[in-house]
Amino acid sequence: MAAATDNDAGTRLPVAVARSPDDRRREHRPHVRTDVIDSAQRAEDWIKRVERRMANNPAWNPDNSKTDPALKLTVSEVTGRTVERGDYTAHGMNASASEVHSVQVALKYKQGIDPPFVVVTSHPVSP
């Protein structure tokens, strides 16, 4: 999720605003693409750390483990359009959105499913 900043009027502004061209496709992309891009290794390492901690401490609840920071995945197809905060600050509603090829994905560990995680949130982001 994008962080927010304050402007001179004290109003919270998002760092960026983005939308996916197809919400259903966006929801499924992290499951399909994580094994073919660089962030796959980070996700696999995170899963191994969770499983190792679970083995060493059976009382620990692994379902509370989340990727932090979120994974950033870059693909060849357009993941959505985004307006950068600086452009919005300068141009307001006349700011131009640009197509992006990256998506930020936050994962949460979930026992009993394969792969052992669920997507908490995902949204298009600039590179």
In this predicted model, what pLDDT tens digit does every residue of 62-97 receive, in sequence order?
999 998 888 888 888 898 999 989 999 999 999 999
Q: How far is Cα 65 from Cα 110, in angstroms, rounded to an integer?
A: 9
For residue 60 the two structure tokens come to 């620990």
Question: Domain coordinates of the chain in residue numbers?
Answer: 4-125
DSSP state of 63: G
In this predicted model, what pLDDT tens digit does every residue of 22-60 receive, in sequence order?
544 444 444 444 434 567 788 889 999 999 999 999 999
Rg of the chain over Cα atoms, rounded to whole angstroms, equals: 17
Q: 3-state class of 31 per DSSP? A: helix
CA angle 100, 106, 107 (to 5 degrees): 135
CA angle 96, 97, 100 (to 5 degrees): 145
The structure's pTM equals 0.60
Laid out side by side, the sheet with 16-19 consists of 16-19, 80-84, 98-100
